[in-house]
Amino acid sequence: MEAGTARLAIFDTYKTGDSLTAEAARQRLILATLAGRAGPGERTRTGMARRIAGDGGRWKNVYSGVFRDMEEVMLPLGLAGEEGRLPLTRGPRAMQEKGVPYYRLTGRGMISAMAVPGTDVASLLAAFQAGEEGAGPHAAALAALAGPCPSLARMILECHVRAFCSGGIDDLLPLDPARSASDILAPYGELIRGVSGMTRGQREAAAAIVDRASGADKH
């Protein structure tokens, strides 16, 4: 889609290590806020800046970044849209009359948010299916996978969003994992197909060895 030089940067890291850049961390928090149960006041630009700054934080220092992310990335890329406006009781009359916009995620925004750790993939997939015209069978299949295997569903979505961020695909819609296929996912398909032919005892033994190999049995 046409969006000038707008670019989603939620996977960007500093060259000196694996730490996310400030821009990446901020964009992730914006997506997570819009994906959660935040009220309208928390979904204004000021509300999101306050939330990102945290208790005692200097939200005014964060506001310019949030403003830029919304105006130059989220809105131009169609990841977010204005949901309504909150009235103002002070400030210029024109601003009081127009109010302050608060935002919601679009279908593209929901896909992006599902790639952010900590967001509820199952709930977002359900909302995506309900609200996105022509969501298609792949969303339904991912929703079925997200129940028992949320991490795997997120990984598939992350590959899709990474491809968009790097320019490998030019739009997040339609949601078809084949457009952003990655060979790192091949072993998971092999696992699901293989497990379906195992006995219960074999499945339990296989799960145990995978847990040992991943360190999950230590938690």
* Cα separations in angstroms, 98 against 10, 91, 95, 127: 31, 11, 5, 29
Give me the pLDDT at residue 191, please: 85
- Which amino acid type is present at position 22? A
The residue extents of the domains of the chain are 1-105, 186-218
Give me the pLDDT at residue 95, please: 66
Tell me the CA end-to-end span of the chain in Å, nearest whole number: 44
C-alpha angle 110-112-114 in degrees, rounded to nearest 5: 70
Give me the pLDDT at residue 2, please: 46
Tell me the β-bridge partners of 84: 102
- Token readout for 199 is 């006995």
Residue carrying structure tokens 């945290």:
54
- Which amino acid type is present at position 90? R
Tell me the β-bridge partners of 16: none
* pLDDT per residue rounded down to tens, the chain (219 residues): 445 578 999 999 998 888 999 999 999 999 999 999 999 999 999 999 999 898 777 899 999 999 999 999 999 999 999 999 998 776 666 666 788 999 999 999 999 999 999 999 999 999 999 988 778 899 999 999 999 889 999 999 999 999 999 999 999 999 999 999 989 999 888 888 898 889 999 989 988 988 888 887 776
